[in-house]
Amino acid sequence: MIRLFLTGMLLFVFSSSSYSQDLHFGIKAGLNRSNYVGDQYGDFKARTSFHVGVFAETPIGGIFSFHPELLYSRQGGRLALSPFIVADPGDPVINELPEYAEFYDNYLQFPLLFRINLGEVFSFELGPQIGISLTNDSRFDFAPVTGLGFDLGDKFKFQIRYFLGISDIVRSTELGGTTLNDDRFDSVFQLAAGYVLF
């Protein structure tokens, strides 16, 4: 299914270029502010990481344009360790433990976004995203994406986005002798800057 999905995306982009002289390609990078959502993940806190990748953009008629991307994205969350530590607080070993346990999830992501261009500067973005996990036992993560764009001239692009995964990204996790096997979803805010190469 993933091959069919990506093949369709590429065919759309390159078929658009056959009748449009406005197909553009660029690079982008930015920050992620990510966390987990789920029944057993209320104690998790957001963590900051990054994403980097490439994008294309082509008009599809009127104020609408198609904006596919290929990104490497590092996400996750962090958990305070103190509720899981049962020991003498004065123990020097306990005092050397980090305050939080950091959880990392690495993805290849394919946002397929449709942009509504509100003039020459602002735009509204909406579309699906498929993520291929490089770390978890659940391979794919699907998510609806929404965001706002800001274009500075013809070369510089800025975006703020949010997506909430609809796929359970981990079947089970062992933590302090406890198995966490409830649903777990990615919740991610992204802030990015891009540059149009050609």
Domain boundaries, the chain: 2-196
- 2-196 maps to which CATH number? 2.40.160.20
Segment 120-138 shows an average pLDDT of 90
- Whether the Cβ atoms of residue 192 and residue 54 lie closer than 8 Å to each other: no
Q: What percent of the chain has pLDDT over 70?
A: 70
How far is Cα 84 from Cα 80, in angstroms, rounded to an integer?
Answer: 8
Q: pLDDT (tens digit, 9 = 90+) per residue, 113-128?
A: 999 999 999 999 999 9
pLDDT in tens, 52-85: 999 999 999 999 999 999 999 999 988 876 655 5
> What's residue 106's pLDDT?
95
Q: Where are the beta strands (DSSP E) in 81-184?
A: 100-118, 122-133, 140-152, 156-164, 173-175, 178-180
Structure tokens at 102: 């950091």
User: CB–CB of 29/50 below 8 Å?
Assistant: yes
Q: What is the mean pLDDT of the chain?
A: 83
Residue closest to 168 by CA, chosen among 134, 139, 129, 190: 139
Looking at the predicted structure, is the pLDDT value of residue 19 above 50? Answer: no
Tokens of 157: 């692009």
Residue 174 has pLDDT above 80, yes or no: no
> SS3 string of 22-43?
CCEEEEEEEEEEEEEECCCCCC
**Of 38-42, 87-91, 138-142, minimum mean pLDDT range:** 87-91
Look at residue 44 in the predicted model and tell me its pLDDT. Answer: 84
Three-class secondary structure of residue 176 per DSSP: coil
Least confident among 32-46, 116-130, 173-187: 173-187
